[in-house]
A = this chain, B = another copy of it.
């Protein structure tokens, strides 16, 4: 198990391989973001998206799927997230794209009120198969401490 004490600020992690399918783009958008440019080829062609593109919330959710798989592979003792800063959808994500992530740990500190928790902040950048940045965000996270009495 990986705990707060094991994390090193500045560490870069590269992970994930998510193939974006047309079927999934339309299924997600139909339920959560039914705007024409996420549902219909013709309507999308008339907008700055150019063609059918994934909902930004779908992209964020695909990023979460890659991140959870990565955390599980590293047996990280995650406790959820209080939030996200500066989420940016930089380029459209299209069916047929393959996404991957790069994360850097920006900072870590112990919770002042709950010593069994550490608080972390990381930046995640998401790229397509052309190595173009499609999304970025700074995510807050919580992780269990191995030793609540520790001082690091």
Q: Which residues of A line the B interface, CB within 8 A?
A: 28, 31-35, 37, 47-49, 55-58, 60-62, 64-65, 68, 78-89
The reply to whether A86 and B89 contact each other, CB–CB distance below 8 Å, is no
Known: A48-B79, A83-B89, A88-B83. A65 touches B32 (CB 8 A): yes
Main secondary structure of the interface of A (DSSP, over half): mixed
The reply to whether B88 and A35 contact each other, CB–CB distance below 8 Å, is no
Question: What is the count of identical protomers in the complex?
Answer: 2
Q: How near does chain B come to A115, taking the closest CB pair, in angstroms? A: 14
The reply to whether A61 and B78 contact each other, CB–CB distance below 8 Å, is no
Known: A82-B88, A86-B83. A32 touches B61 (CB 8 A): yes
